[in-house]
A and B are shown apart, each in its own frame.
Chain A
Amino acid sequence: QVQLVESGGGVVQPGRSLRLSCAASGFTLSIFGIHWVRQAPGKGLEWVAVISYDGSNTYYADSVKGRFTISRDNSKNTLYLQMDSLRAEDTAVYYCATDTPGTVSGWFDSWGPGTLVTVSS
């Protein structure tokens, strides 16, 4: 069964760092571009970042550019989101989602259940 599972969320103080992971089971993550999408409590969806299947290309939303870094370790079938200089407005459920195999089409196909990040002093 194809499954994505995020982990690493929690409560963190403003200005601190957190690293989220997205692990795949039942399929090979290495053929997919992967996105991070977040959702603040009670709010809509916001795209955060994307990484190509081979890690050669990454793109970010302006709201996180320079603070967040997306990366992947295909040997571990895992994706990461390093979040630095966290702000209160980064508080959200963070989802990873697959794109189309072999390319970045911009459609978010399979999603993990999400992990909650709370930035608060």
Chain B
Amino acid sequence: EIVLTQSPATLSLSPGERATLSCRASQSVRNYLAWYQQKPGQAPRLLIYDASNRATGIPARFSGSGSGTDFTLTISSLEPEDFAVYYCQQRSNWPPYTFGQGTKLEIK
């Protein structure tokens, strides 16, 4: 089973700042990595798939990069609605599909 490790666990930033979230895989997942956003009391929402492709309706301030074992989600300029928990997920070696433990992006 592929283990995904996200860092940091919590990221404290202000609106307008740039956010950089990391996800590291225990073995190569090629580019088969996705990012999800989850707000309290809501279901997750797909942001990025195949490491760098934005899902339908996702603003351009969200971007993904990386391949192999190291991946990054970047939010270029934080909006108030971006403060949430973010998860990475791999589909390279399944079952099972696995998720990282999450990064909480909070307002500083």
Contact = CB atoms under 8 A, between A and B. Distances in A.
Whether both chains belong to one complex is answered with: yes
Interface string B28-64: 0000101010100011111001000001000000000
Interface of B is mostly: loop
B43 A112 contact: yes
A106 B94 contact: yes
B89 interface: yes
B97 A114 contact: no
A50 B32 CA distance: 17
A47 B43 contact: no
A89 interface: no
| Number of chain A interface residues as a range | 20 to 34
Contacts of B42: 113
Contacts, number: 54
B87 A45 contact: yes
Contact of B44 (A45, A59, A61, A105): A45
Contacts of A59: 94-95
Nearest to B96: A61
Interface string A33-50: 001010000001111001
A44 B102 contact: yes
Contact of A106 (B36, B38, B43, B91): B91
Scoring B89, B95, B101 by chain A CB atoms within 10 A of each residue's CB, the highest score goes to B95
B100 to A, nearest CB: 7
B101 A44 contact: yes
Given A111-B43, A114-B43, A45 B99 contact: yes
A68 interface: no
Given A44-B87, A106-B94, A113 B43 contact: yes
A32 interface: no
A108 B46 contact: yes
Interface of B: 32, 34, 36, 38, 42-46, 49, 55, 87, 89, 91, 94-102
Interface of A: 35, 37, 44-47, 50, 59-62, 95, 97, 105-109, 111-114
Given A60-B95, A95-B44, A108-B36, 4 more contacts: A47-B96, A47-B97, A95-B43, A108-B34
